[in-house]
Amino acid sequence: MKDALKLYLVTDRDLSLGRSLEEVVSEAVKGGVTIVQLREKETSTGEFVALARRLMSILKPLGIPLIINDRVDVALAVDADGVHIGQSDMAYADARRLLGPDKIIGLSVESLEDLEAANALDVDYVGISPVYGTPTKTDTAEPFGLEGLRKAVEMSVHPTVAIGGMNARTIGEVMEAGADGVAVVSAICSAEDISKAAKELKAIVEAAANRSWSKEVWKKSSKIYNSILELDFLKKLSEGTLSNDIFARYIAQDEIYLKNYYHQMNMLADMMESTDDKELFIAFAKSGMEGEKALHDMLIDRYGIETKVEPSKVTSDYNAHICEGIATGDLCIALASVLPCMWIYNQVGLHILNHSKLEGNPFKEWILEYGQEEFTTGVNKVLKMVDGWASKTDKQTREKMDYYYLKAALYEYAFWDYGYNADSKSYNYTESLEEWL
């Protein structure tokens, strides 16, 4: 499905410079369009069906899916490959019941709340809409922007298509932000040479998609991340109902982890050749031992936490795994091994920040620390860095990067899970790791 979404043409006869839809679509697929959506807001049902049949005759022999915008009845009439529905259109459950299990159904999401709801549905893809403002569609929600898109892609369990403001200037950064495809209207429909325009856009999409190791590994680890969000520890932390004893146990282990983190960031800084890269990881080390340590000291004092404890097996094994990755001496592998402790922590913080009740929450300071903008900016710089290096390395190294990242992500899961379940006599985190692996 993902490959089919890469260059997604949405038709608009008003923007086609007087050319027929058949001509526009034929030239577009010659240039590399991978899927076509027929969008007709003003036409009669009869004309809509006739147009769809003509496009089906062009696209079906080429294996290019035809998606009908909004109209399930039209899709059924012409046996189209699927439909794309919006938030105010027919409910997904009804569309699926009518179309059956094999047809493609895409769903537009206009906010992170829409996206969370879509995660619970078995849709084939979601359209993140709009990413940027666009003159072709004026009845849209507040644009996501690039950072909003990145957050949406990370949250989504489904393939994602970026919609709104997609053109040769924007699609590269959108694909690098993690989208699986881009939905284009005027950049193709209004092009003087449609085939050439589509070919140029496809080249940008392919080049940007191939560089994004982080996008692919996040998708591979999405089950782990979503399971972390479902842990009772985080749910109760977000609600402010977590027991003080459990929170204290977590902070005591996090104190041990924080000291390791400081040394790991400095080791990574020593591996960097660029001064800017060195300073980035020195800044991570500094923020850990200043900002985060100050937070810990305040919480330790508030809750009377005893920090002179032995590291749990989870803490020790997690630290050993990261040190093993750094000890390879390969910057790509080293970064992959340490990335979850930054990226997943940050994403968990942002998630809780968006969903928790901060007023009166005793853990408010912790939530604000891990969801802060400065931390998010630093993590995004590391993602850009690791994607750049991954694009230049060989397949074997990328496979090792996947391994070190995914195992570290599993340790993140175990670290959060241990905080809540350590008192259980039957608790054995190594068994849960084996299940994931």
Asked if 194 and 188 touch (Cβ cutoff 8 Å), the reply is yes
The 10 Å Cβ neighbour count of residue 85 is 23
**Residues contacting 289, CB < 8 A, separation 6+:** 258, 262
Of 2, 30, 54, 137, which is the active-site residue?
137
- What's the rounded Cα separation, in Å, for the pair 329 and 388? 18
DSSP for 166-233 reads -STTTHHHHHHTT-SEEEESHHHHT-SSHHHHHHHHHHHHHHHHHH-HHHHHHHHTHHHHHHHHT-HH
Residue 66: its H or E element = strand 66-69
Angle at alpha carbon of residue 343, lines to 433 and 251, rounded to 5°: 70
- What's the rounded Cα separation, in Å, for the pair 342 and 224? 15
| 126, β-bridge pairs | 107, 160
Sign (positive or negative) of CA dihedral 207, 213, 216, 222: negative
Active site residue 39: yes
Q: Give the position of tokens 């059956």.
A: 100
DSSP label at 80? -
Active site residue 108: yes
Active site residue 357: no
Asked if 274 and 362 touch (Cβ cutoff 8 Å), the reply is no
Residue 254 CA: distances (Å) to CA of 166, 321, 323? 43, 16, 17
Residue 77: its H or E element = helix 72-78
Q: What are the φ and ψ backbone dihedral angles of 84, each rounded to 5 degrees?
A: -120, 125
- What's the rounded Cα separation, in Å, for the pair 153 and 201? 21
Of 39, 96, 215, 249, which is the active-site residue?
39
Of 96, 103, 108, 211, which is the active-site residue?
108
Sign (positive or negative) of CA dihedral 14, 16, 17, 23: negative
At 6, list the tokens.
């890469």
Q: What are the φ and ψ backbone dihedral angles of 372, each rounded to 5 degrees?
A: -70, 150
Q: Which residues are catalytic?
A: 39, 108, 137
